[in-house]
Structure 1
Amino acid sequence: MSEHEGTFCLVLHSHLPWLAHHGSWPVGEEWLYQAWAHSYLPVVDLLRRFADEGKRDVLTLGVTPVLAAQLDDPYCLRNFHHWLGHWQLRARHASTLWSGDPLLRSLAAAEHLAADHACEELETRWRHGFSPVLRSLVDAGTIELLGGPATHPFQPLLDPRVRTFALRTGLTDTQLRIGHRPAGIWAPECGYAPGMEADYAAAGVQRFLVDGPSLRGDTSAARTVGSSDVVCFGRDLEVTYRVWSPKAGYPGHGSYRDFHTWAHEVGLKPSRVTGKQIEPADKAPYDPALAADTLRLHVKDFVDTVVTRLRSLREQHGRESLVVAAYDTELFGHWWHEGPAWLEAVLRALPEAGVRVTTLQGALDAGHLGAPVELPASSWGSGKDWRVWDGEQVADMVTANTELQRRLLALPPAAPGHRDPVRDQLVTEALLALSSDWAFMVTKDSAADYARRRARVHTERFDALAGGHGTRSDDRPFGHLDARDL
């Protein structure tokens, strides 16, 4: 290895469940369009700037097949265009309503510029969906792309046949959209059960993510799993949690824009966090200059944290070491307004501090491969076990999903010959019902009623189709899905 402080990999996990045709506000398509406008567009913007500079191996980007399907879907593209138009109108209304307050008037102007830019991007670079944009970044070597199972199921709770089918369907979907079959995946929720590496090897998956505790905290190198050649990378929680943890992180600073406080008359967020115990009505107006000053401090703090961690690991292990920080893409811009600016600044500042910044494949190329490891059953959820997806609060959903899989696998064999569109839809409904998001939302009491309803609707559609009484729905994310492959 060449002399560096060590190696840093940023991994972003882009995922939302299938939301098209399933309500709008407060949960539903609005969630998709907010994340699209405030996270996916800005993150792609910064990646394109790196690509234009000829930068390679900037970060590792996971895009789940079910999200990619929505970002390519003509219905979603059309409705997102309408949403952006409404954003422009809301910003224009705010500029009139807030004309007497300099900070709020400036915020309204900034919102209008952001809405105009988003609309222009959608009408030009994104007019055919996300896949052409994403493919250009993959082809340029700017990013390493991670795939995943089709509808983001919690894999440890799946029957092996269903698990294999979901993974192969997802990998095929990414290959069709991008022209490349991903060598790595983001295992949904970092869920792992002993032996799953054999499934990965059979599907051609060479690497995946786990949470740091799965490696007993030693995330300083990637590891082959068991007797396989499949490699796992662990999140370094000491570094990752500096940004965002279950209890704290940069986005909660009082200077940053407050995610939860709305000016409902214009549908915009006018406040800064101010303080955790401050009521929404008492929060101070958002001040971009104040936020920018704080952002510079947090960029420096993160770079210092990474360098200190790498030096500590070098002293401990006697070699250059690896730090992997992994986050949901939606944190940057959607949840944390200043997130994209922080992200770009960090990715530029780390190399200046002597840190090798690269992808997961780049880390392997740099020699960061340690001894084999036996992984325990684990996830990145609360307790780092499976409780979020199989705990007491969702026991009824686990039972329902187990029975759904049993009925799916008990169907009589498909008739030989051509594909059966009804059977394809039946399998699609089952996969949509098995999304990990529904149990997560129930356990975390986040739109739990919506989540339960979604799981129930897809299960009921499956049973109706299996009984010969259902009709095709608008939920067809995977046109290539062939039930005969199950």
Structure 2
Amino acid sequence: MSDPVGAFALVLHSHLPWLAHHGRWPVGEEWLHQAWASSYLPLTRLLDELADEGRRDVLTLGVTPVLAAQLDDPGCLAATETWVGMWQARAAELSTRTDPRWRELASREFLAGAQAARSLATRWRAGGSPVLRSLADAGVIELLGGPATHPFLPLLDDRVGRFALSAGLDDARARFGGFGGGIWAPECGYSPGLEQLYAAAGVSHFLADEVTLAAGGRPTSAAWTVRGSGVAVFGRDLTVTDRIWSSRTGYPTGADYRDFHAIDHASGLHPYRVTGAGVPSDAKALYEPARAVAAVERDAQDFVRRVRDRLREVADRDGQPGLVVAAYDTELFGHWWHEGPAFLRRVLRLLPEAGVRLTTLRGALEAGAARGDVALPAGSWGAGKDFRVWDGPMVKPLVDEGFWVQRRLLDVVGEEARAGRLLVRRPDLDQLARQALLTLSSDWAFMVSRDQAADYAWRRADEHRAAFHRLAELVQRRDPGAQDESRRQREVDGPFGDLDARILAAQGG
């Protein structure tokens, strides 16, 4: 299996909405702590290992600006360290049970917590940016940028979309020392014309879903230049991606893996394995690490065979080696799928042994992956592969409110510009723009449409919208209290310290 057959690009999309200061459990900061400890720490440990081995162009890692802001926030870091300490305390309490299987679980959990605590106190002591930047500088990963708060760009006013993207890319330059040209388009959302926004911002490539690319008559086995723009688009290969991604047949549904949803409520830990489809939580079997290790090896070998078979199929069809792009949420590996990081460790080592070249998206372009152009139609990676998750009937109030927030933001900034009051930075207007972008996060509509903590999503959208209009009213009345209000808001909602609302005026806002 060692003869070269093509290239494989793994793309991991790391994203959480702004959670700091907005609740803790069951949804809120707890979500950040869990993903940080269970996904981000194990992934970067693996990448550090590969860097030490001299490996390069291993994978493409998207880290949204709003997540990067939280990974760099000292308060978020301290809160996560506290959460990890509580994790260890829960494990220690579990160790008092008489059943030796529970004590074994307690030992594993305590040691995992101790390892996380060491990583936070050493490698991550100055936040996430130094960790990610070192991996990018070493050439192990390609970092993707994106718009500031992960808004669904097809639904935004062009001026607000440009502002959100420029704010996000400026943030990436500040944190990581540069912007490499690639972005994760939020929700893989695309509508014709966005490529011009991307080109103007210096974006060289982005991702779309396979269904979107196929509707444009192009396969995912290459990159394609969106017609008239010079911006390349990659599509994720669903045949390969769904080996992991499918909620019905993907590897994480395997009987021997740890079950995320079955919880021991006394300890808050996850002591059970999936056991079988449809097995109720109270009938789940206890987790057995040896069975999970065997499942990881079995599934990693299967995944590598599937990638190799897919590349052979592409080469036979096209007459030349091709590319497979598999894209996932980073949080799947570790947070949702406990064994995910171990699976990645095996796959990233087995693929080169099987004649598959690992590459980043940028590396694929440099190797000549772009083969022609495409008239790309609208699409997303959401349910239905269209926009229904973000503009369907269930979330119409969010869409309507988002329209008026954008319109008022542009009106207020435009009024101030025409009055000559934008000669210097305006903290009140900067906060107004920041609050508008937080209101427009795609997460709120996603959570409502998928009925995942929908009440929390409605509340968060309402809070940001109300704060926006409260501040807008003070600014439009030229009330001196606008400065105090903006300071109060920024104490809670303060990412993107370099955000400058005057850019909106320069764009014709």
> Could you say whether these structures have the same fold, taking a TM-score greater than 0.5 normalized by the shorter chain as the test?
yes
Give the secondary-structure state (helix, strand or coil) at the position aligned to 1:128.
Answer: coil
Aligned residue number for residue 269 of structure 1: 270
Q: Aligned partner of 1:168: which letter?
A: S
Match of 2:165 among 157, 160, 167: 167
Aligned residue number for residue 485 of structure 1: 503
Match of 2:144 among 132, 143, 146: 146
Q: Aligned partner of 1:128: which letter?
A: A
Deviations 1:213-263 (A, max 9, x none): 111161010000011110000000000001112533000111000000111
Aligned residue number for residue 309 of structure 2: 308
Larger CA deviation: 215-224 vs 381-390: 215-224
Aligned residue number for residue 464 of structure 2: 458
In 1, the alpha carbon distance for the partners of 2:100 and 2:448 equals 41
Identity of aligned residues (%): 60
Q: Aligned partner of 1:18: which letter?
A: W
Q: Is the 8 A contact 1:13 1:186 kept in 2?
A: yes
Q: Aligned partner of 2:275: which letter?
A: T
Q: Where do residues 139-218 of structure 1 align in structure 2 (5 Å cutoff)? A: 139-216=137-214, 218=219
Aligned residue number for residue 430 of structure 1: 436
In 1, the alpha carbon distance for the partners of 2:169 and 2:180 equals 7
CA drift at 1:95: 1.2
Q: Where do residues 287-298 of structure 1 align in structure 2 (5 Å cutoff)? A: 287-298=288-299
Question: Does the alignment pair 1:39 with 2:39?
Answer: yes
Q: Is the 8 A contact 2:144 2:184 kept in 1?
A: yes
Question: Does the alignment pair 1:286 with 2:284?
Answer: no
In 2, the alpha carbon distance for the partners of 1:117 and 1:436 equals 33
Deviations 1:40-89 (A, max 9, x none): 00000000000111111000000000000000001101111111110110
Question: Does the alignment pair 1:72 with 2:72?
Answer: yes
Q: Where do residues 24-173 of structure 1 align in structure 2 (5 Å cutoff)? A: 24-97=24-97, 99-102=98-101, 104-173=102-171
Larger CA deviation: 467-476 vs 250-259: 467-476
Q: Aligned partner of 1:34: which letter?
A: Q
Give the secondary-structure state (helix, strand or coil) at the position aligned to 2:91.
Answer: helix
In 1, the alpha carbon distance for the partners of 2:203 and 2:105 equals 46
In 1, the alpha carbon distance for the partners of 2:381 and 2:450 equals 14
Q: Aligned partner of 1:108: which letter?
A: A
Give the secondary-structure state (helix, strand or coil) at the position aligned to 2:390.
Answer: helix
Q: Aligned partner of 1:144: which letter?
A: E
Deviations 1:173-195 (A, max 9, x none): 01100101131000000000001
Give the secondary-structure state (helix, strand or coil) at the position aligned to 1:258.
Answer: coil
Match of 1:446 among 447, 452, 469: 452
In 2, the alpha carbon distance for the partners of 1:443 and 1:393 equals 6
Q: Aligned partner of 2:497: which letter?
A: G
In 1, the alpha carbon distance for the partners of 2:226 and 2:18 equals 32
Q: Is the 8 A contact 2:256 2:291 kept in 1?
A: yes
CA drift at 1:366: 2.2
Q: Is the 8 A contact 1:379 1:386 kept in 2?
A: yes
CA drift at 1:10: 0.2
Q: List structure 1 segments (4+ residues) > 6 angstroms apart after TM superposition.
A: none
Contiguous gaps of at least 5 residues in structure 2: 475-480, 505-509
In 1, the alpha carbon distance for the partners of 2:59 and 2:330 equals 12
CA drift at 1:418: 2.3
CA drift at 1:120: 0.8
CA drift at 1:413: 2.2
Give the secondary-structure state (helix, strand or coil) at the position aligned to 2:338.
Answer: coil
CA drift at 1:361: 1.3
In 2, the alpha carbon distance for the partners of 1:14 and 1:163 equals 20
Question: Does the alignment pair 1:416 with 2:422?
Answer: yes
Q: Is the 8 A contact 1:171 1:182 kept in 2?
A: no
Give the secondary-structure state (helix, strand or coil) at the position aligned to 2:286.
Answer: coil
Aligned residue number for residue 13 of structure 1: 13
In 2, the alpha carbon distance for the partners of 1:455 and 1:166 equals 17
Q: Is the 8 A contact 2:247 2:253 kept in 1?
A: no
Question: Does the alignment pair 1:347 with 2:348?
Answer: yes
Q: Is the 8 A contact 1:175 1:182 kept in 2?
A: no
Q: Aligned partner of 2:344: which letter?
A: L
Contiguous gaps of at least 5 residues in structure 1: none
Q: Is the 8 A contact 2:258 2:273 kept in 1?
A: yes
In 1, the alpha carbon distance for the partners of 2:7 and 2:259 equals 33
Q: Is the 8 A contact 1:174 1:182 kept in 2?
A: no
Measured on the aligned residues, the alpha-carbon RMSD in Å equals 1.2
Q: Aligned partner of 1:100: which letter?
A: D
In 1, the alpha carbon distance for the partners of 2:70 and 2:55 equals 29
Question: How many residues were matched structurally?
Answer: 483
CA drift at 1:433: 0.5
Q: Is the 8 A contact 1:58 1:143 kept in 2?
A: yes
In 1, the alpha carbon distance for the partners of 2:319 and 2:416 equals 58
In 2, the alpha carbon distance for the partners of 1:371 and 1:256 equals 42
Deviations 1:138-184 (A, max 9, x none): 11000000010000000000000000000000000011001011310
CA drift at 1:405: 0.6
Question: Does the alignment pair 1:22 with 2:40?
Answer: no
Q: Is the 8 A contact 2:13 2:61 kept in 1?
A: yes
Query: When the two structures are superposed, what TM-score results if normalisation uses the length of structure 1?
Result: 0.98
Match of 2:494 among 458, 466, 476: 476
Deviations 1:411-431 (A, max 9, x none): 122413321111111111100
Aligned residue number for residue 478 of structure 2: none
Give the secondary-structure state (helix, strand or coil) at the position aligned to 2:371.
Answer: coil
In 2, the alpha carbon distance for the partners of 1:65 and 1:4 equals 37
Q: Aligned partner of 1:122: which letter?
A: L
Question: Does the alignment pair 1:325 with 2:326?
Answer: yes
Query: When the two structures are superposed, what TM-score results if normalisation uses the length of structure 2?
Result: 0.93
Q: Is the 8 A contact 1:222 1:370 kept in 2?
A: yes
Aligned residue number for residue 362 of structure 1: 363
Q: Aligned partner of 1:444: which letter?
A: R
Q: Is the 8 A contact 2:63 2:145 kept in 1?
A: yes
Aligned residue number for residue 403 of structure 2: 402
In 2, the alpha carbon distance for the partners of 1:386 and 1:178 equals 32
In 2, the alpha carbon distance for the partners of 1:467 and 1:404 equals 12
In 2, the alpha carbon distance for the partners of 1:181 and 1:367 equals 21
